[in-house]
Structure formats: C-alpha cells, structure tokens
Structure 1
C-alpha cells in the first residue's frame, strides 16, 4: 500500500513539474515581433524564454487570405540565423511599456516572395523542442512585414503621377509647358529658395508615403526635419517678398543657371552664397533619402546639420535684405 502511494506521488510530481518548468512558474511564454520590419534586414523575433539552438526554434508567418490565395512558403518553418538568450527588450502592452527578458531570434527573410506588395500582414508563430515535446507560442496580433523594393516603386509611381498632374494643371492654366515656371521669381528667374522648398516637400512627402505603405500608420516626423521645412519656407517667403519690392516683373525664361547667379545679373554674376546653399541642400537631401531608405525610418537629421543649413539660408537672404 505504501509502495503504491509512493508511486502515485512520484507520477504526480512528474506531471506537475513538467508544466511548471514549461510555463516558468505559471507565466506563459510571450512572443514579440516588432512591427514594420523590412524583409531586406535581419528580422527580429523575441520570446520570453531562454532557448538554445539545439531546441530547434522555428518561425512560421501566417497571413490572412480574405482576397489573396495561400502561398506555399507559409507552411515553411524558418530557421533562425542567430539564437541569443539572456536578452532584454521593451514592448508596448495596452499602452504601457513593459520590459521583458528572454531569447532573441534573428531570421534572414530576404528570399521571402512578397510579389508586388509593399508590405504584408503576418501572424508570427514560434515552435521549439522542450523535453522531447514540441512547444508552440503564437503572437498576440498581426504585424507588418515590409518590402522596401516594392515600397520604393509604388512611392515613386505615386509621386510621379502627382507631380505630373500638378505640372499639367499649371501648364494648362498658365499656357506654359515648362514646369520650371512653378519655381520662378517675380522677374522670371529660377528661384533657388522656391526650388529648395519644392525639393524638400517632395522628399519628405515621398518618405512619409513610403513609411505609411510599410507600416500603415502616420509617422512621427522628427523635429529637425520640421525645422528644415520651416527654414526653407521662411527663406522662400522672405526672398519672394524682397524680390517683389526691389525688382520689376519680367517675362524672361527660367534657366537652371539662375540657381547660382545673382539677380539682377551681369555677365559673370555668380553667387557663392547661393552655390553653398544649393550644395548643402543637395547633400542633405541625398543623406535624408538614403538614410531613411536604409534604416526603414524617417531619418532624424542632426541639429548641427540643421544649423549649417540655417547659416546658408542667412547668407542667401542677407544680400536681399541690405
């Protein structure tokens, strides 16, 4: 009788200890996959358990199929390239920032075929082997997985169509086919300040559109970017106002060379201040667009670079205000 009681006790301990160990003191494992990651980058998935490579962690990405057909690769179990236990991360749970610890899994999804889509909604599912049996944890909600190539193509298409409509409308209204007339001053010269405003408007608008396509949300524009847009608009407005006071409206045609020439101009009236302003504009636009594409977020331009651009704007406006 005593032997049977001891046997039942041992069996009971085995049954209770297994789930207790698997659930880590009664807390179910949590799966977190950051939203809006790009498949061209290493995709991060966190799980609040310490896992090892020999436990064979695998990832599945389930998609909704209200309209589209199921893809073959959805059944594939993706193997991580890196399994790093003992990691910490912060995630938002019901509006509260929660710090968790566990394992970071990193996956190479560059070969995942998303076709022409800028992003897809996926539900992450992670499985692993624990004590000879398979454990599975499913993400609480769907997340966006972005395709930067498709996002760039769709963004470029939308921007080109929008600009074409604007230029065609202006050309039809004004009877002028040259789109440079959108950026001319009162005397007909091509305005550097207005050109800068147009370039920053198109660049920031395109980056915001691309971000929205990947994450399906309106991004937070960093304060330095807002400051740069404000500087460009203020410079354009002040410059146009001063030109209106000092110059007589004319009907000359705009030329690209006007961007680095003094107005009214002579044979060799080149402006170093305008050349410097144009150089900084080109450099910052190139960095802003490339960094935003590579990082997958709107680049937070350093304030030092904003200050340098501001000094260039002052150098451009000073001759007009004297």
Structure 2
C-alpha cells in the first residue's frame, strides 16, 4: 500500500477555523511573520503554520478568512479536494507563485493533525512506523558583514553540524575558520530563488571556493551553466536540491539523478504530493534530509515529526527554535529523543 493510501481515509470533523498571527523581530532588518491555522473540532484542534514570507499576505488571510468554507465532516482526501476549490488568496495573485503551496500546506497539515488527533494516534502509528531519535544541523545567520561570532556562541554550548548560505562577501579569513571547524555539512548557493534579495548569482569563483575548501559538504541549489557546470565534474554526488523540489515531477526533471535532496513539506502543498515524493525517493534510493522555513509555531514540530519517521539520521536543517535567536542559549544537542505518547503531528522531545 502506498504511504498516502494509509492516511487518505482518516476522518476529521471541522467545526470552526481560526487564525493566530505569530511575529518575531529576529534582528533589526528581519521581522518574521507567520500564521497558525487552527481547525477546531468538537474536542480536538488541528494546527498548521502558514510560512509565507510576505507579512501583507498574512494580513489578507486574516481579513478574509470568513470566505473559506472548510467546516463539516470529511475524510482527509475530501478535505484536500475541497481545499483545492477554495481561493486561498481571495481574488488576488500571490506575490510569489510558491506561496500557493505554502498556504495549502498550512491547511492540509492542520487537517492531518486534526484527523490523527480525533483518532487518537500519531503520524508514526498511522503509518505503522516509529518515531526515531532525530539528528539535526543548525543554520545560523552569519550577519552583515558575515562573521564567525554566532557560530562560536553555538559551538561553545553544543556540538552541532552547520548549514550555511554562501555569499560573495565571505572573506578568506571566514572561509578558513569555517573549513577548520570541520562542522559544515551543507552549503546553500541559493541559485534558484525568484526573490532577488535571496538569490545568489552564479559566481564561478565562489563556487570553486566552496567545492575546494569544503570537500565533505553537500552543495545545494547551484546554477549549472557553461561557466559553472565544469567545476562539478567528478563532484556530482555532492550536488543536492531544495528550492526546485515541489513534487515527484520536479525530482524527475532534475539534470541528473541526485544522491540526496532536501524535503521541505511546505514546498509541496498537499499531503499527497509530499508523501508521493518521499515514497519516490525511497523507491529510487535517493537519500532525503529535511529543511525548515523559519517556523515560529507548530510548523517546526510538524517537520520534526515527518523527519523522525522518514529520515531521522540525516543532516536536516531543522534545529529547534532556540537556535533562531540573536543570543542563543540553553541549546539542545542532537539527536533529539521523542517523548512518549505523542498524538497528531505533535513532536516534542525530552
């Protein structure tokens, strides 16, 4: 039986939909906003998190939530079909096309959470699997200009691997410190983002430094063109993908079969598309690791739950939220040990 088939007939009873705005001033330049979606049943509540990056999109959702018709009883598959007929952006185009999947995931994950809770089981139990101890790596922002300071603060407390976003303004001194640390597991070249503020232009000099100075690290989302593709000759197994991965079709359309890919549930939108992609990777011996979207509420637990079932030992960039502050302290170390008696998509650690 396919993985999704084990979940699609789960029933859920939704009586009310509520939203809660989450907001955190991460640093002077970055104010993160997300929305918690609450699907309320007779006794239980299912939670999801909308991780769209544009605060105005969250405002519009709050203002128009009454337009959605998602109550009544459903199976999980019925709910997904009904949701697909709703206009989740209320007559306006989203500011980014991938936001459609982000918002869909917020509601679909809340529906799955509620369906599991109303049956009194966890995701692992529903799939006849177990939650395992969960490895993770951290992705501390290096600041502007980039420095090693925050990494030193983290490494003084815990032994944890790193995922870093390479930029043209990495100094030679910083590269040397990062390489000497031996902790860099993934370097993201961010070559495929629509957002110009996020996208890193393909720079052969930067790519060469990353390839040569971090020989054990995965290299995520490079642009492969005439100037950069030859740099990866013999290094193809280190190339991995994140931003382009949204479905089975997107995996099949990669320039070559990857050894590993990054699974971010919100990029897929629906539970079916996510689980079909996970199953495709299992069947085609493609290793998976997880990633987050700077979640502020239940969304981080949900990606922990999924990773703990399907890729618990991987170098997943899903560190607990305590890592995502300016002055991190009291940091948990990997691996995280799941609590007993978990229900729904909840995933808490001891």
Flag whether TM exceeds 0.5 (same fold).
Answer: no
Where is the helix percentage greater, Structure 1 or Structure 2?
Answer: 1
Q: Relative contact order, CA 8 A, sep 6+: which one is greater? A: 2
TM-score of Structure 1 vs Structure 2, range by shorter chain: under 0.3
Structure 1 length-normalised TM: 0.23
> Which structure would you say has the larger Rg?
1
